[in-house]
A and B are shown apart, each in its own frame.
Chain A
Amino acid sequence: MANKRIDEPTGVETVGHEWDGIEELNNPLPRWWIITWVLCIVFSIGYMVVYPAWPMLNKATEGVWGWTSRGQLAQETKVAEGARASTLAALAATPIEQIPNDPKLLNAAISGGKAAFRVNCVQCHGSGAAGSIGYPNLNDDDWLWGGNVKDIELTLLHGIRQPGNDQTRTSLMPNFGQDGILTAAQINDVAGHVLSLSGKAPANAGGAAAFAANCAVCHGTDGKGLRQFGAPNLADAIWLYGGKKEQVTASVYKAHAGVMPAWGGKLDAVTIKMLAVYVHSLGGGEDFSEAPTTPAVADNGNAKP
């Protein structure tokens, strides 16, 4: 630069530029700053060699260390799986009814079950396991096939009404209307009688007689159901297919026979165990001591004190 000169008041050389009479002093940077700057450049060169850095036409350069975000994820997943291995092994080794004795194991099973539930079960039972018409609510104290943790596990393993699975939960309610077993008037009376069991309709003698002849075999003379057949309790407040007169009538006319997959072939044994523990923990799970020999006792056992 041509106009370099020593600035009088400061004694510092200028860089030689001049803008409307304003000049710039050439104040040097400290040595440590320069060294840090050079080190950063050296570091960045090394970084570009070992890590992916230069964008090319199809993909970036790979870097000599071969690092990828996918590879890192795979490695971290492997580490996480390794960390879970001992818990999963302990769960596999513990009989399901003894899991509640170990709070740590119980918490692990509930967390694992919750995660598996969100993937496999929410499609029908809902994210809060509250179910909907046709899909049971798993939070409540009403169980078609039994509510202790072993019963739940069995239901999970073999499903409900799965053809070809000889341990599957199965039962068959006749299509009383569609197959002409009962007349329309009789069905109407039976539906009225069923609703009267929980006080939602007045008692009627015709319905009671038809119920005793056709329904009591499975649902019991008092209508409180039988778990051996998965026959629902008709005297309580919970209705899987709706508790209005027309909904009950429709169920008698043509039975629903809902199904659930047998998860035994789809999920591993530990996951099913964790799912059973999770569902049991939702607030309606039954203890073995409470486990009913007959459904009627179960309902009394769950009644309010």
Chain B
Amino acid sequence: MQSPETAPSHLDLYEKRKAVFPKAVDGRFRRFKWLVMVVTLAIYYGTPWLRWDRGPYAPDQAVLLDLGNRRFFMFGIEIWPHEFYFVAGLLIMAGIGLFLVTSAVGRAWCGYSCPQTVWTDLFQHVDRFIDGDRNAQLRLEAAPWGPQKIFKRGLKWTIYLVISFWTGGAWIMYFADAPTLTRDFWAGDAAMVAYGTVAVLTVMTFLLGGFLREQVCVYMCPWPRIQTAMLDEKSLIVTYKDWRGEPRGSVKKAEKNPGGVGDCIDCNQCVNVCPTGYDIRNGQDIQCITCALCIDACDTVMQQIGRPRGLIDYATLEDCEIERAGGAPKPVMKALFHTRTLVYLGVWGAIGVALLFALGVRSQIDVSVQKDRNPPFMLMSDGEIRNAYTLKLRNMQARPRPMQVTLEGLPGAVMWTDDMAREKASRIIRVTAAPDQVKALRVYVVAPDDTTPQSFTFTLLATDAEGGGDSSEVRFDAPEE
């Protein structure tokens, strides 16, 4: 361990940011990070442009959150507001999924797939593309403002802005038909909320990805704090094996004094490649997002000086103790699957199966009835008793469906709607429910004058080939004599 830094003689009221200029690195984790970055960005930017044919009555965008019409489309699945528990279930799965991942492989979310990490990584590649690698960036940062620096900064920030704008623009595509919205957006015909959202997201991406970067993780984000509570001694975290590395010494020193120094040659490569500028040799910390780039850097160095890889490596605290004592660590698969991860996996899977089951058996046709309570019933001039009801016939399919509503129970009763004359009243009403909509019917039911208060049932039946139906029991009010 390093000795404590000497205290600064003068303390400011604020902590000045120490800018981070991570060095480019190659290795297996860096390649994995590339892959995750490409896949996640492709999903984010590309998804709204996928098409999915739902017939003439529904939008053909594969993933669409249609807030105006209160419909969520996701490929073959369409969610209505009353089925929001599916979304709630997915959010719970996402939460437990994070517990699972954290318990198994530590802060893998932070290191690989968090948007803040992915966009920071993207912006850091822009830095390298414009300014060059770490040393060139450091030189440029220290250089006085001149034509070249102004040009490079201007170019870089312009690229930041373009990426940010594209990011903000992609977001709104999830909420409306993407090609139409794109055309409207550039023609100035889109809704104000679209422009506002793009503006806010552009500015946020520009600031968070371009400038705040690791400060978001260190100061702003609650997730690292939560994760410190969720990690345990069985979680895989990025670890510097100090028992192997200490005391540090150069290769020359090791040659002079075999056995006197550890494997760490204090080349500082692990710090130079770190996107948050942390020194992993100080141990696990909120600043370490476990992106594992230091493992790649250290492995490269170890290979160059002919020592075994893995001085910095993914390891559990348990294994560290075993290794420190000279034992052999558990295989990775065993480290991944311990009681806690298995419990999380079980809960996660159970919710997933339950959601799939609910999705499979959900009804796409539904009737709900609201009874007029004021007045609860009325006498007609011929002495019969009338009750009024509002029926909501829900057709969740993207095509018009013929349906019929029948009265069951309530002997002698007939019904008619606002749209028909009372002379045509009968025990069956036939209607066509419009595609993907709820049809409201105001229904009057009259029963003979000797009817007593009782319950009866409205039965809804789809009369097309697919069929299906629903029923709803309601009360019929009458004078109590």
- Do A and B come from the same complex? yes
A residues adjacent to B (C-beta < 8 A): 6, 8-13, 26-34, 126-130, 137, 139-142, 198, 233, 236-238, 281, 283, 287, 290, 299, 301-305
Q: How far is the CB of B390 from chain A (nearest CB, A)?
A: 12
Contact B381 A13 (CB under 8 A): no
Contact B13 A34 (CB under 8 A): yes
Specify which of B372, B375, B414 is in contact with A137 (CB 8 Å cutoff).
B375
Contact A28 B383 (CB under 8 A): no
Q: How far is the CB of B19 from chain A (nearest CB, A)?
A: 13
Contact A29 B14 (CB under 8 A): yes
B480 within 8 A of A: no
- Per-residue CB proximity of B1-37 to A under 8 Å, as 1/0? 0001111000111111100000000000000000000
Contact B381 A287 (CB under 8 A): no
Do A26 and B374 form a contact, CB below 8 Å, given A140-B386, A236-B383, A238-B379?
no
Interface magnitude class on chain B: 35 or more
Specify which of A12, A26, A130, A141 is in contact with B381 (CB 8 Å cutoff).
A141
Q: How far is the CB of B207 from chain A (nearest CB, A)?
A: 10
Q: How far is the CB of A249 from chain B (nearest CB, A)?
A: 21
B78 within 8 A of A: no
Q: How far is the CB of A116 from chain B (nearest CB, A)?
A: 17
Q: How far is the CB of B344 from chain A (nearest CB, A)?
A: 34
Specify which of A6, A8, A29, A236 is in contact with B382 (CB 8 Å cutoff).
A236
Do A29 and B381 form a contact, CB below 8 Å, given A140-B386, A283-B388, A287-B421?
no
Contacts of A287 in B (CB 8 A): 421
Contact A28 B6 (CB under 8 A): no
Contact A30 B11 (CB under 8 A): no
Q: How far is the CB of A264 from chain B (nearest CB, A)?
A: 28
Q: Can you identify 5 A-B contacts, CB atoms within 8 angstroms?
A: A137-B375, A139-B375, A236-B381, A238-B380, A238-B381
* Complex Cα–Cα for A198 and B380 (A): 13
Q: How far is the CB of A260 from chain B (nearest CB, A)?
A: 19
Q: How far is the CB of B172 from chain A (nearest CB, A)?
A: 27
Contact B4 A8 (CB under 8 A): yes
Contacts of B425 in A (CB 8 A): 304-305
Do A304 and B7 form a contact, CB below 8 Å, given A28-B12, A28-B13, A30-B15?
no
Specify which of B12, B16, B386, B424 is in contact with A283 (CB 8 Å cutoff).
B386
Contacts of B388 in A (CB 8 A): 139, 283
A to B contact number (C-beta, < 8 Å): 103
B246 within 8 A of A: no
Do A237 and B444 form a contact, CB below 8 Å, given A11-B4, A11-B7?
no
* Complex Cα–Cα for A11 and B8 (A): 8
Contacts of B444 in A (CB 8 A): 283
B residues adjacent to A (C-beta < 8 A): 4-7, 11-17, 212, 215, 219, 372-375, 378-384, 386, 388, 414, 418, 421-425, 444, 446, 449
Please give 5 more A-B residue pairs, beta carbons under 8 A apart, in addition to A28-B13, A126-B374, A139-B386.
A29-B14, A236-B383, A238-B381, A299-B381, A305-B424
Contact B7 A13 (CB under 8 A): yes
The dominant DSSP class at the A interface is loop
Q: How far is the CB of A121 from chain B (nearest CB, A)?
A: 14
Contact B14 A140 (CB under 8 A): no
Specify which of B5, B215, B372 is in contact with A32 (CB 8 Å cutoff).
B215
Q: Which 7 A-B pairs have the closest CB atoms?
A: A128-B374, A130-B375, A237-B383, A236-B381, A31-B14, A142-B381, A11-B7
Contacts of A302 in B (CB 8 A): 380-382, 422
Q: How far is the CB of B42 from chain A (nearest CB, A)?
A: 32
Contacts of B17 in A (CB 8 A): 30-31
* Complex Cα–Cα for A238 and B378 (A): 10
* Complex Cα–Cα for A9 and B5 (A): 9
Contact B4 A130 (CB under 8 A): no
Contacts of B378 in A (CB 8 A): 130, 137, 139-140, 283
Do A237 and B449 form a contact, CB below 8 Å, given A11-B7, A31-B17?
yes
Contact B6 A304 (CB under 8 A): no
Residue of A nearest to B424 (CB): A305
Contact A34 B380 (CB under 8 A): no
* Complex Cα–Cα for A199 and B41 (A): 82
* Complex Cα–Cα for A143 and B298 (A): 95
